[in-house]
């Protein structure tokens, strides 16, 4: 930034591009959704304004043009919060998608909302390190203690940790704290369920459904009881990059409470090797011992009195 230039609280989404048309007489703006818009007047001055907005600094004074272009970009949800070098292309694109899907939100409403959520990480190992990196990349607030606004627990293990996950799931449901689970299955990263206590399926619902659908219950129980071993920690630079992007994307959607982008009653698994994303529906178990009717004493039915 040059001396005297004032930093703005917003900047042009890096996914927005522009180029000159008609030998420099006009300027074409290209938006991430594939839409184009042409500015016919004073293309050179308009490009200088765009350059300033892309750098997040006060544009040079060009009369009404600055206000006109800024308003146009705000209407198109093409401005994002200005966080300087920490801004990430994927995050900005996600921000654009979220803002564009909510016409009433301001240009940085998504980011403002996301920054109010505190994530607490529970778990250790290869994947826990990647989740921490993903949070840092996405600029998400991580703390051991819940923050004053939104709070979400991230439970992680390098292999599905049934007992540990069940215990933390129960605590989260009792304290009505949202929680999301991540684990690894060979080359796949599994995300889910995202538990909104009292509203969506919990980890116990998942465990109950898996247990009910397998043929050999004893084998399942024996595998579930196995401790996570050093072999589950084996990392891979290729898998790490893919996992980091996937996890950052999921956490940003959670932070923004964009439940159309990460559905609570579902499990997502991303295969970094086969480049495959699966979504598996997870309905609540009505008689779940943690989140269902069984968590309280059954009410006495009239027939039991007869
Ligand atoms: Zn449940």
For residue 294, the model assigns a pLDDT of 66
155 vs 254: CA distance, rounded Å = 14
68 vs 76: CA distance, rounded Å = 12
Distance 284 CA to ligand 1 centre (A): 6
191, β-bridge pairs: 182, 268
Distance 242 CA to ligand 1 centre (A): 30
Distance 10 CA to ligand 1 centre (A): 42
Distance 164 CA to ligand 1 centre (A): 15
For residue 306, the model assigns a pLDDT of 53
96 vs 19: CA distance, rounded Å = 20
For residue 107, the model assigns a pLDDT of 46
For residue 240, the model assigns a pLDDT of 83
Distance 288 CA to ligand 1 centre (A): 5
Distance 87 CA to ligand 1 centre (A): 37
For residue 115, the model assigns a pLDDT of 67
Q: Is 98 left (phi over 0), alpha (psi -120 to 50) or beta?
A: alpha
Distance 204 CA to ligand 1 centre (A): 5
Tokens of 213: 């659908």
17 vs 145: CA distance, rounded Å = 41
Distance 287 CA to ligand 1 centre (A): 8
How would you classify the pairing of strands 36-39 and 26-30?
antiparallel
Q: Which residues, by Cβ under 5 Å, contact ligand 1, an ion?
A: 202, 204-205, 288, 290-291
For residue 3, the model assigns a pLDDT of 47
Distance 238 CA to ligand 1 centre (A): 35
Distance 171 CA to ligand 1 centre (A): 12
Distance 196 CA to ligand 1 centre (A): 10
For residue 202, the model assigns a pLDDT of 97
For residue 159, the model assigns a pLDDT of 87
Distance 56 CA to ligand 1 centre (A): 46
Distance 297 CA to ligand 1 centre (A): 16
Q: Is 78 exposed, middle or buried (0-12, 13-18, 19+ CB in 10 A)?
A: buried
Distance 26 CA to ligand 1 centre (A): 59
Helix (H) or strand (E) holding 45: helix 43-55
Distance 123 CA to ligand 1 centre (A): 21
**Averaged in consecutive runs of 10 residues, what is the pLDDT profile of the chain (306 residues)?**
69 86 88 85 90 89 85 86 65 68 52 76 92 85 82 93 94 95 90 95 95 78 71 70 88 85 94 88 94 66 58
């Amino acid at each position: 930034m040059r001396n005297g230039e004032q930093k703005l609280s917003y900047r042009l989404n890096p996914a927005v591009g522009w180029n000159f048309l008609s030998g420099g007489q006009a300027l074409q703006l290209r938006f991430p959704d594939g839409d184009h818009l042409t500015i016919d007047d004073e293309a050179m001055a308009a490009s200088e304004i765009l350059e300033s907005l892309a750098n997040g600094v006060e544009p040079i004074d060009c009369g009404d043009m600055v206000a006109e272009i800024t308003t146009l970009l705000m209407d198109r949800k093409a401005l994002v919060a200005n966080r300087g070098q920490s801004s990430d292309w994927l995050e900005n694109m996600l921000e654009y998608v979220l803002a564009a899907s909510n016409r009433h939100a301001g240009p940085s409403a998504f980011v403002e909302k996301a920054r109010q959520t505190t994530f607490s990480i529970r778990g250790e190992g290869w994947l826990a390190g990647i989740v921490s990196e993903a949070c840092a990349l996405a600029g998400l607030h991580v703390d051991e203690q819940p923050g004053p606004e939104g709070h979400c627990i991230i439970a992680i293990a390098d292999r599905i940790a049934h007992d540990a996950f069940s215990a933390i799931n129960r605590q989260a449901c009792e304290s009505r704290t949202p929680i999301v689970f991540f684990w690894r299955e060979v080359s796949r990263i599994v995300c889910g369920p995202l538990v909104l206590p009292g509203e969506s399926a919990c980890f116990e619902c998942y465990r109950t459904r898996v247990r009910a659908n397998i043929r050999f219950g004893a084998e399942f129980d024996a595998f579930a009881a196995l401790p996570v071993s050093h072999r589950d920690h084996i990392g891979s630079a290729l898998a790490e990059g893919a996992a980091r992007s996937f996890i950052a994307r999921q956490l940003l959607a959670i932070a923004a409470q964009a439940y159309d982008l990460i559905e609570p009653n579902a499990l997502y698994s991303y295969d970094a090797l086969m480049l495959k994303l699966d979504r598996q529906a997870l309905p609540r178990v009505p008689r779940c011992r943690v989140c269902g009717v069984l968590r309280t004493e059954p009410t006495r039915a009239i027939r039991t009195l007869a």
